[in-house]
Chain A
Amino acid sequence: MERRIADSVADILLVELQDKLDGITLVRVETGVSFRYNEMRYNISARLLETHSVSFMVERIQHFFTP
């Protein structure tokens, strides 16, 4: 279940983040996903995607790219 949920949550995260960070992209990697924005990368493991809330992750990623 972990990877299925992680992939779905990553897609939802991307849509939410695209409203806030124009040009952000998502790449799936072996351990999870990698968000890319302005030549920066933020990796999230499948485990974290599965066990944390989407609200929490949106804030965390947004803060990372636009501190």
Chain B
Amino acid sequence: MVNALSQDAIRSLACVALEEIQRTVEDMTVEYDDDYAIFVLHGRKYKVGNLRLANRSLTEAVTAVIDFFTTSLTDAIFHIVKEELPGVTVDPSLHGQLQYHYAGRSFTISDTWIHVWTKESIARRIIGYFRYNMPLERL
């Protein structure tokens, strides 16, 4: 792949991508070095190379960043919970929520939680609810 674009154009593409991503993941920021735009959310980083920004569609870059910070995180939460609560299941909803089911009970976490709290914190809350029957307001 050849990058025929100026550095200004690459940065403009990254800025547009950031604005679009922030519609889904509000706290996202972006940093730059010579070869990458680095998308950062609460310390986690995802690099998108300049070549990729120049030679792939902007839509693809936006989708990749959002998927990294949402899908991979929700998977990680599920694996932590599953270790503690074998048999737990989770259903993704259409509205960015995840509904956990265990022993006939259900617990819903919103998309907002995923962007505000760490995966360990969310997993502890889910486990606490199912294992110790902790009321939601104490979680």
Contacts and interface: CB of A to CB of B under 8 A. Distances in A.
Interface string B5-37: 110110011001001100000000000000000
B89 interface: no
Given A5-B20, A12-B13, A54-B13, A59 B4 contact: yes
A50 B59 CA distance: 6
The SS class assigned to the B binding surface is helix
Most buried by B among A5, A51, A55: A55
Contact of B6 (A9, A19, A51, A56): A19
B9 A15 contact: yes
A50 B57 contact: yes
Q: For chain A, what secondary structure do more than half of its interface residues adopt (helix, strand, loop), or is it mixed?
A: helix
A55 B20 contact: no
A8 B4 contact: no
Given A51-B59, A54-B5, A54-B58, 17 more contacts: A1-B59, A5-B59, A8-B12, A8-B16, A8-B58, A9-B16, A12-B9, A12-B12, A12-B13, A15-B8, A16-B6, A16-B9, A50-B57, A53-B57, A55-B3, A55-B5, A58-B5
23 contacts: A1-B62, A5-B58, A8-B16, A9-B13, A12-B12, A12-B16, A15-B8, A15-B12, A16-B5, A16-B6, A50-B58, A50-B59, A51-B57, A53-B54, A53-B55, A53-B57, A54-B5, A54-B53, A55-B2, A55-B4, A55-B54, A56-B55, A58-B4
